[in-house]
Structure 1
Amino acid sequence: MRRGVRAVTALLSCALLAACGTRASSDGLWAEPQLATPPQYRIGDGDPRGASIVRAAREWVDLGTVPGEGTPWESMSRWALIDLHQAMGGLDSGHAPAAGAADRWDYFWPRDGAFIALALDRTGHTQEAAAVIDFISRLPFDTQQGLDARYLLNGQRVVVDPRGPQSDGCGWVLWAIGSMTDEALPRSADALRTKCVMNVLRLTSSGWLLPPPSPDYWEIPVGQTSLGTVAPMLAGLRATADHGPAAERWVAGQAAKRLEERVHESMGPALERFGERGGLDAAVAMMMPPFGPEDGRTTKRWLAYQREAMRSSGGLAPGAEWKQDGTSWTPETALVAYTAAASGREKTAERWLTWLDEHRTPWGSLPEKVNRSGSPAGPAPLLWTAALVLLTLDELEPPA
């Protein structure tokens, strides 16, 4: 009798563990994220406004260029542009585009705005690109810490926001301004550039020191400076040195050289989230082209990140030590695609673009995440991902 009970117990245990002799997969220990965007996002399910809204968006897309036109990713590119257009509907009335199509993402992140502005510029929508930069220039600004992590869509501070200031913001803004055409820069860009340069110089002691600890794109409290905070600052200084006004080029260039040395001295050769610990994360891609010249020390770690942060759904997590729930994150995956394209690794860029394309929503948008079952999750669209895909496809365009 006891042997029979033990046998039944063993069989039940095997069934629960999927196979005898194995432990439960860590993927099974987390609840799967689901889509946060309501199915009516595209306004087409029985709503008579749907056809006219999409038609107007298509007409706007045709006013510019479509990166990847004629390639397998043309549809993804067009819908990414349509999503940007739909989200920017409030700019004329002073409201910024929301980061994603869901309530919890109904805020404006300066980081996302920097990528959106550059994507708009690269696709010929310079007026809208200028409007995004002008909006950023009017945001409340802390001279010590810089920009907040996020703002209300009307540009006001979030009254009670645990995310607080996030000092990588100025780095991203400087990188975007330094990468954009003159036609896409409003008059306010000069003052915005100057105050952001001063902020980065102050936080890094003109490049001699790493900046103080600050939340980065992971947006969690940290007690040590992360690569995700300092890498955007380095990118911003480099862009200013290359394309800023004469008065700021030299000082930004010298600070960039010193800060690059400091990063490799303090955080290399591992270049993990906190140097020698924290695991590789997507911040290592922020050290690759187009954010700066390629360096073999960084490239080696960038390649390793793609192996170590791979998730069972086929994409990448923010970091190798991010929770092991099998979920892939599209911004980080698209960031790697962008840096692959910018560094001449077309096959790598195409691989990640294909994965992104295959995991869009039924209405064509790029979601924030793809859960371990392979389904889109989180807000869809997520504008940071949409902008990164457009920039990647633009990098892959053959020279004119």
Structure 2
Amino acid sequence: MTNDDQLRHLVTRSVQVIAEHQDVGGAYLASPTFPVYRFSWLRDGAFIADAMSRVGETGSAERFFDWCARTLLDRQDHIRSLVRRADRGEPVPQGDHPPTRFTVDGADSGEEWWDFQLDGYGTWMWALGEHRRRHGRGRLDGDLLAAVELCVEYLAAFWAQPCFDWWEEHADRVHTSTLASIGAGVRAATELGVGSDTESTAATMLADLDETILERCVGDGRLAKMIGDARVDASLIAACGPFRTLDGQDDIAEATYDRIVADLAPDGVHRYLGDTYFGGGRWVVLAGFVGWYEATTGRDDRARDRLEWMCAQATADGLLPEQTTDHVLDPNFISVWVDKWGPVATPLLWSHAMYITLADALGLADHHHPLDSEVPS
């Protein structure tokens, strides 16, 4: 049994790790030590900013949101040209879309990657909405408003297109977790003071998206990994919890949770059956997500077990990895990925963020004085 002081200490350490690896311009490095993760993702950053917002690090979160706005508005002419092409019925190749990962300055990575991932373009708006609601920030204006309206326009044009999923796989499929991320972001946008034209666009899109999820992404009473693939994926838990995709559909949410636990989540959580990335280990990130759902549905004992498991994965320096390499699904693939990219990413800022989030849900995260004066250089 891990005592409360140990659990709280890792919250403090996690805040420090995130602050240390946030650029002065607002971007969070996904991992400072893992070469291909020395970039900023909208997806990872959104959950990192949300965690920092939860514990009172408002300046950190707002610097990230401002970075998102600058990064997107720098590409507004290109994004609007893509929307116009879609409106004319022209095919838009995946390689023409804006990137998935960015340098801390907001530039393209300059390296080949699994680009065209729509989920992050929704998730950052969800996190922005949560932050402004939590801290009473009110309606948007200026660059933040312009960036949100741009994202709604972009997502409305392309939400139904196949793209890479949360795990940067299966570019030829439509993924349930991606749809949930998009929906959560666009719903948040409608509460942030967007103009009437954007609000109308969002309403039409959300009606179609929600119908698609219920009609094409549900099988056997639960969510499926993607259209045409009935497997469960642990990322689906976000649709059941924070994204509120299934509001009023508690039976589907519970059935999805039950299957995730049965197939993937003994303590840490595998991504999906058949995963081979670093052998398909148990993800610290996903333990946080599943525990978060458990904490918000009255399963505090289970949620605490997951938090304790997460805490136990920390290094002596208090750094959390992306995943573990014990109890993997296919050990033959551990060396394949180590030879390609080196050991598992440690620290992964997203893991630290989900630890903070779950600890907060269990009342184990202190809402301390912000580190705003300690802006990293």
TM (norm. structure 2) is 0.76
Shift of 1:280: 0.7
Which whole-Å deviations, capped at 9, do the CAs of 1:336-394 have from their partners, x for residues lacking one? Answer: 122323344323321211110111111111111111169xx612221111112212222
Q: Which residue is 1:297 aligned to? A: 252
Q: Select the residue among 8, 14, 21 that pairs with 1:80.
A: 14
8 A Cα contact 1:271 1:284, kept in partner: yes
Q: Which residue is 1:309 aligned to? A: 264
Q: Select the residue among 223, 226, 233 that pairs with 1:274.
A: 226
Given residue 385 of structure 1, which amino acid in structure 2 is its aligned partner? S
8 A Cα contact 2:216 2:227, kept in partner: yes
Superposition map of 1:1-400 within 5 A: 72-88=6-22, 90-91=23-24, 94=25, 96-102=27-33, 103-139=35-71, 140-141=74-75, 142-143=78-79, 144=82, 147-181=98-132, 182-183=136-137, 187-204=142-159, 211-245=160-194, 247=196, 248=198, 251-253=201-203, 255-269=205-219, 270-277=222-229, 279-292=231-244, 293=247, 295=249, 296-310=251-265, 314-323=267-276, 325=279, 327-372=281-326, 378-397=344-363
Given residue 317 of structure 1, which amino acid in structure 2 is its aligned partner? H
8 A Cα contact 1:174 1:197, kept in partner: no
* Alignment CA distance shift 1:200-1:155 (3 Å): same
Unpaired segments ≥5 residues, structure 1: 1-68, 205-210
8 A Cα contact 1:126 1:183, kept in partner: no
8 A Cα contact 2:19 2:60, kept in partner: no
Query: What is the distance in 2 between the residues matched to 1:72 and 1:253?
Result: 46
Query: What is the distance in 2 between the residues matched to 1:258 and 1:215?
Result: 20
**What's the Cα RMSD here?**
3.0
Given residue 237 of structure 1, which amino acid in structure 2 is its aligned partner? V
Given residue 192 of structure 1, which amino acid in structure 2 is its aligned partner? A
Query: What is the distance in 2 between the residues matched to 1:250 and 1:100?
Result: 39
Query: What is the distance in 2 between the residues matched to 1:174 and 1:229?
Result: 14
Shift of 1:81: 0.4
TM (norm. structure 1) is 0.72
Count of residues paired in the alignment: 321
Query: What is the distance in 2 between the residues matched to 1:186 and 1:382?
Result: 32
SS in 2 for 1:73: helix
Query: What is the distance in 2 between the residues matched to 1:371 and 1:186?
Result: 46
Shift of 1:253: 4.5
Query: What is the distance in 1 between the residues matched to 2:38 and 2:195?
Result: 38
Shift of 1:294: 5.8
8 A Cα contact 2:165 2:178, kept in partner: yes
* Larger relative contact order (Cα-Cα within 8 Å, sequence gap ≥ 6): 2
8 A Cα contact 2:26 2:66, kept in partner: no
Query: What is the distance in 2 between the residues matched to 1:335 and 1:249?
Result: 30
Given residue 156 of structure 1, which amino acid in structure 2 is its aligned partner? A
Given residue 110 of structure 1, which amino acid in structure 2 is its aligned partner? L
SS in 1 for 2:243: coil
* Identity within the alignment, %: 23
Large movers: runs of 4+ above 6 Å: none
SS in 2 for 1:301: helix
Given residue 168 of structure 1, which amino acid in structure 2 is its aligned partner? D
Query: What is the distance in 1 between the residues matched to 2:192 and 2:5?
Result: 32
Query: What is the distance in 1 between the residues matched to 2:190 and 2:275?
Result: 34
8 A Cα contact 1:227 1:283, kept in partner: no
Query: What is the distance in 1 between the residues matched to 2:253 and 2:8?
Result: 31
* Alignment CA distance shift 1:79-1:158 (3 Å): same
Unpaired segments ≥5 residues, structure 2: 83-93, 329-342, 368-377
Given residue 84 of structure 1, which amino acid in structure 2 is its aligned partner? I
Which whole-Å deviations, capped at 9, do the CAs of 1:229-268 have from their partners, x for residues lacking one? Answer: 2120111123234454473556535533432121110111
